[in-house]
Structure 1
Amino acid sequence: MEHIPTYTEQRILCASCGTTIAPNPANLCVNCIRNEVDITEGIPKQGTLHFCKGCERYLQPPNIWVNCALESRELLALCLKKLKGLSKVRLIDAGFVWTEPHSRRIKVKLTIQKEVFASTILQQVFVVEFIVSGQQCEECTRVAAQLTWKAAVQVRQKVPHKRTFLWLEQLILKHNAHKDTTNIKEARDGIDFYYANRSHAIRMVEFLQAITPLRLKTSEQLISTDIHAGTANYKFTYSVELVPICKDDLVCLPMKVARSLSNISPLALCTRVGNSLQLLDFNSLRVGELRGAVFWESPFTSLCDAKELVEFYVIDIQPEGVHNGKYMLATAEVALSNDLNTTWLVRTHLGHILRPGDHVMGYNLVNANFNNTEYDIFSQAAQSRGGLPDVVLVRKAYPNARRKRRTRNWKLQQLAKEEEEGVVKAKSEKAKAELDYEMFLRDLEEDPELRSMVNLYKDAAQSNKVVPIIESENQDDDEMMDEDDEPEEDFPEINMDELLEEMEGMNIQDDEMA
């Protein structure tokens, strides 16, 4: 009789709970292993899917929209790509859990495996819930935009400040040139105006051409066409680029342009920006008017802008008796306000307003190094005529009055603009915008001609709005100035008869930075 041996499976006790189990390298039962190790850790249990209701597509990051039917392989692949941490485990199975279509929820059931101990593999099943969030794709956004605007005017200027646009904004408000806009958006380098009719956009372009030199580019995009009626629907965009020259900028003109402007010196100051650039030769008081068309034939950039102005102290000044009605030529001895050891003798056009003891803002060119071809040509030619000026004086300063805490009895009004989408301004950018606005307000105070071009309104809450003191302009000369110094007698103040009563019902908002 043949003997057939029987095999008895060996059993051990779980090291944690004492349950009888088959031997395994961990000596733990499945429940105890799951209690000690969670292989789903690091895998999100919730996610978000962006869905466009217009074209019924899902967003596949970063910016691809794909068509996916419900419970399709494409949608499942899109959901799995959203889950970080799946690469650290082995995916065994994946499938959808049924949900109501209108619930805006998609559930995916996953089965994964992972080796937790030596030769011990743990398998676990869990569910991930995705929330379907509505988001309009770029194509649908453009289609929707066709119903709100048909023409756009994009105004840009390549300068590191916003003072030109602040002035332009006030002119638009004064002449009500924005009355036909459907929307106004603030861009990084300018402003965008949107219109329902092309004729309104053309009217805005003509208004801008009348007040400032610019270069215009026009583009059109076909939206739809009717071959039976022979008609087409277009969307028009007018790109307006302003000249990159602002008031008080120091420029170096090309020699050909300087000769055409009554043969003025190539090194000149921009004293006014209107429908043309007014350039002043501060050595001879000759003035040249540069039209926008001439500028764009031979474009140039500024050597120094208003943010590079430094403060000088006037030690002595000797008028030369030459004047052109607005300016008077004089020779001034100046020194830096924070360093009186070094002095310079300079010719200036401010002889009619400067007196010994005054302060004046100017450009210090002693150690300046410009990466400008026209300036290099001019400096070589100027060596034979006595060299370049060390200092260029621009405008009178009022440090004593600026140091005093005071309030403004006037304010400006502002266009209702939307900020640029997807851009969050940092604190430094906000501080820079506030500084640009304060400098623009000071320009209005000190320049009656510029002030006459805008509307100023009475401020009923003037006691709550204190004029800020810019630390950078006073921190160098605190030692030589006493807090008890009296404000300058000719400090520009705006009279009440220049202010208007605030008008109601306009599409503008009060500016809180004033």
Structure 2
Amino acid sequence: METMSEMPSTQTMDTILCCDCGIPIQPNPSNTCVDCLRSRVDITDGIPKSGNLLMCRNCERYHSPPNAWTKAALESRELLAICLKRLKSTLSKVRLVDAAFVWTEPHSKRIKVKIAIQKEVDGGTFLQQTFVVEFVIHNHMCNDCHRIEAKDFWNSVVQARQKTTHKKTFYYLEQIILKHKMHSTCTKLSENPNGLDFFYSSKQDARKFTDFLMSMLPCRYQSAQQLISHDVHTSTYNYKTTFSVEIPPVCKDDIVCLPKKLAQQLGNMDQLALCIRVTNCIHLIDFKTLQLCEVNGTAYWRNPFYSCSSSKNLIQYIVMEIEPIHNRQQKSGEGAKSHKHLLADCWVVKASELGINEDYVHTVTHLGHLLNPGDTVLGYDLRNSNQSNVELDKMKEQDVPDVILVKKVFGDKQRRRRRRNWKLRRLATNTASDDESFVGFMEDLEEDKEFRKNVDVYVDRSHVPTDTDDESMPKITLQEMLEDLTIEDDVDMAGNE
């Protein structure tokens, strides 16, 4: 019986001679070798070996026919798709096998693409060929950048407003906008007495910025549309959209009077409270019990409250006597308390009446961990001030203290300003960085660790010489910058360490 091993292991294929050059080849429909077939037929005929690309120098986007502009990096899939789209009409009669970039100098304004194609020739023979197409980049301003440069085009505007006498919350808002680069798509900034206007070329960018503000501050907004044009044939409408964002008129170091219902919901707090910080919530402390609470945007706008006195009404007091309170009787239903502060009985006198008036004023303060006899402290004089607050008028007179202490004064402000070796970036509309309100905001950053977490600081050239510009400076922590400041040790930072 014949086995499989006795059969021949390989089979020899017949060969023929090329009809042009006569070399042995395997049979094919054209009876021609590859070299002779390529010399006679060029499958790249009709495909251009050079082309042009339009790039906007401002936004660094490439023109994608017919009207689109696409963001694409060098040697990226997006840029390769744009290049092949330029050759789409000429590549319709061949089969695209492969495409890849050939390295070129980035500043040469040249892009080379190596393309491999296949095509059927002479009734069944497939021929593959590789060639290089060179594209020259030309600068051309896109329509969006052209409108931005005109300075008068906008489709949507975000109006951020806060009706208050000082701008501490707006300074904080400015810093978090710069940190997250939310102003990069803004076409124009306009300053108003109560806030800022941010203009955008698209409604999506304005909506994104509005959502950003809602996540960073306890604010609310309303939107409105104005019809600009209407095409009756295609039912196309063109609107201009306005987002009006309202920020609560409460800032750091303000005294607020809570509605009685809201105070009970927050852990049976006293109606008078001190605002210690404004971030995505309003952080309050009861200076009589050290009770803390956070009021988010939903709770605030359901029961809004306003400032009784702002930081512009602060008065300097001198601490004459202070006695810590250790065994205070707790009220029922109290919430979380601050472990960074100390409750104390304090007797103070106005700095302007020191040595003249010996009638000391008694108050209960939360700054017992910082104050000592002889220290200077800022506070509100509620006894001699005219208050126009509805909730405060409803309170009993014996429940309203004569003086509310807010914060301790650390050293000489002018000396601290000269020794400050860091600075903050500003938006284009707010270039003045030496006004008193902004200097007060910088002092708050030094004195409050939690308040400065979302703020980027930069090296000040006037104190630290450097050859780099502000954009390329590495961001550092404010704690590192404060190491060279010669201020009191207990500054760090108003008991918030």
CA contact (8 A) 2:273 2:286 kept: yes
Is residue 178 from structure 1 mapped to residue 179 from structure 2 by the alignment?
A: no
Query: How far apart are 1:354 and its partner, in Å?
Result: 1.7
What whole-Å deviation, never above 9, does each CA across 1:357-384 have from its counterpart, x for those lacking one?
2221111122122122211111x2x53x
Query: How far apart are 1:324 and its partner, in Å?
Result: 2.5
Distance 1:156 1:461 in 2: 34
What whole-Å deviation, never above 9, does each CA across 1:419-442 have from its counterpart, x for those lacking one?
9xxxxxxxxxx89x8121111111
What whole-Å deviation, never above 9, does each CA across 1:269-315 have from its counterpart, x for those lacking one?
11111222112111111122222222223323211000111111122
CA contact (8 A) 2:292 2:338 kept: no
Please, which of 341, 346, 353 is the counterpart of residue 339 of structure 1? 353
**Identity across the alignment (%):** 42
Query: How far apart are 1:192 and its partner, in Å?
Result: 0.8
In structure 2, the residue matched to 1:438 is 439
Is residue 416 from structure 1 mapped to residue 421 from structure 2 by the alignment?
A: no
Is residue 360 from structure 1 mapped to residue 360 from structure 2 by the alignment?
A: no
Distance 2:430 2:360 in 1: 49
How many residue pairs get matched? 314
Q: Equivalent residues in 2 for 1:443-462 (5 A)?
A: 443-462=444-463
CA contact (8 A) 2:151 2:187 kept: no
What whole-Å deviation, never above 9, does each CA across 1:62-98 have from its counterpart, x for those lacking one?
xxxxxxxxxxxxxxxxxxxxxxxxxxxxxxxxxxxxx
CA contact (8 A) 1:224 1:234 kept: yes
Distance 1:328 1:294 in 2: 28
Query: How far apart are 1:198 and its partner, in Å?
Result: 0.9
In structure 2, the residue matched to 1:512 is none
In structure 2, the residue matched to 1:324 is 338
Bigger Cα displacement from structure 2, 219-228 vs 403-412: 403-412
In structure 2, do the counterparts of structure 1 residues 145 and 225 end up closer, same or farther at CA, with 3 Å as the change threshold?
farther
In structure 1, the residue matched to 2:141 is none
What whole-Å deviation, never above 9, does each CA across 1:392-434 have from its counterpart, x for those lacking one?
0111112446467733211111112389xxxxxxxxxx89x81
Query: How far apart are 1:347 and its partner, in Å?
Result: 0.9
Please, which of 309, 316, 325 is the counterpart of residue 314 of structure 2? 309
CA contact (8 A) 1:400 1:488 kept: no
Q: Which runs of 5+ in 1 are unaligned?
A: 1-141, 420-429, 465-485, 494-514
In structure 1, the residue matched to 2:27 is none
In structure 2, do the counterparts of structure 1 residues 219 and 487 end up closer, same or farther at CA, with 3 Å as the change threshold?
closer
Distance 2:445 2:415 in 1: 18
Q: Equivalent residues in 2 for 1:21-60 (5 A)?
A: none
Is residue 148 from structure 1 mapped to residue 153 from structure 2 by the alignment?
A: yes
Please, which of 392, 399, 420 is the counterpart of residue 375 of structure 1? 392
CA contact (8 A) 2:325 2:344 kept: yes
What whole-Å deviation, never above 9, does each CA across 1:313-335 have from its counterpart, x for those lacking one?
12222222376322221112222
SS in 1 for 2:419: coil
Give the counterpart letter for 2:244 in structure 1.
Answer: S
Q: Equivalent residues in 2 for 1:8-407 (5 A)?
A: 148-321=153-326, 324-340=338-354, 341-378=358-395, 380=396, 382-383=397-398, 387-400=399-412, 402=414, 406-407=418-419
SS in 1 for 2:445: helix
Give the counterpart letter for 1:461 in structure 2.
Answer: S
CA contact (8 A) 2:161 2:247 kept: yes
SS in 2 for 1:368: coil
Distance 2:489 2:429 in 1: 39
Query: How far apart are 1:338 and its partner, in Å?
Result: 2.6
In structure 1, the residue matched to 2:97 is none
SS in 2 for 1:160: coil
CA contact (8 A) 1:310 1:363 kept: yes
SS in 1 for 2:191: strand
SS in 2 for 1:219: strand
Distance 2:230 2:301 in 1: 37
Distance 1:187 1:302 in 2: 22
Distance 1:461 1:249 in 2: 34
Distance 2:158 2:297 in 1: 19
Give the counterpart letter for 1:351 in structure 2.
Answer: G
Query: How far apart are 1:266 and its partner, in Å?
Result: 0.7
Distance 2:274 2:491 in 1: 23
In structure 2, do the counterparts of structure 1 residues 291 and 404 end up closer, same or farther at CA, with 3 Å as the change threshold?
closer
Query: How far apart are 1:463 and its partner, in Å?
Result: 8.2
Query: How far apart are 1:492 and its partner, in Å?
Result: 5.2
What whole-Å deviation, never above 9, does each CA across 1:127-185 have from its counterpart, x for those lacking one?
xxxxxxxxxxxxxxx9x999721111010110112222111101101111111111112
CA contact (8 A) 2:168 2:252 kept: no
Normalised by the size of structure 1, how large is the TM-score?
Answer: 0.57
CA contact (8 A) 1:150 1:195 kept: yes
Distance 2:325 2:437 in 1: 36
Q: Which runs of 5+ in 2 are unaligned?
A: 1-146, 329-336, 466-485
CA contact (8 A) 2:281 2:296 kept: yes
Distance 2:181 2:417 in 1: 35
CA contact (8 A) 1:161 1:436 kept: yes
Distance 2:189 2:437 in 1: 21
SS in 1 for 2:229: strand
SS in 2 for 1:448: coil
SS in 2 for 1:347: strand
Distance 2:416 2:176 in 1: 30
SS in 1 for 2:182: coil
Give the counterpart letter for 2:452 in structure 1.
Answer: R
In structure 2, do the counterparts of structure 1 residues 439 and 418 end up closer, same or farther at CA, with 3 Å as the change threshold?
closer
Distance 1:370 1:405 in 2: 33
CA contact (8 A) 1:401 1:491 kept: no
SS in 2 for 1:300: coil
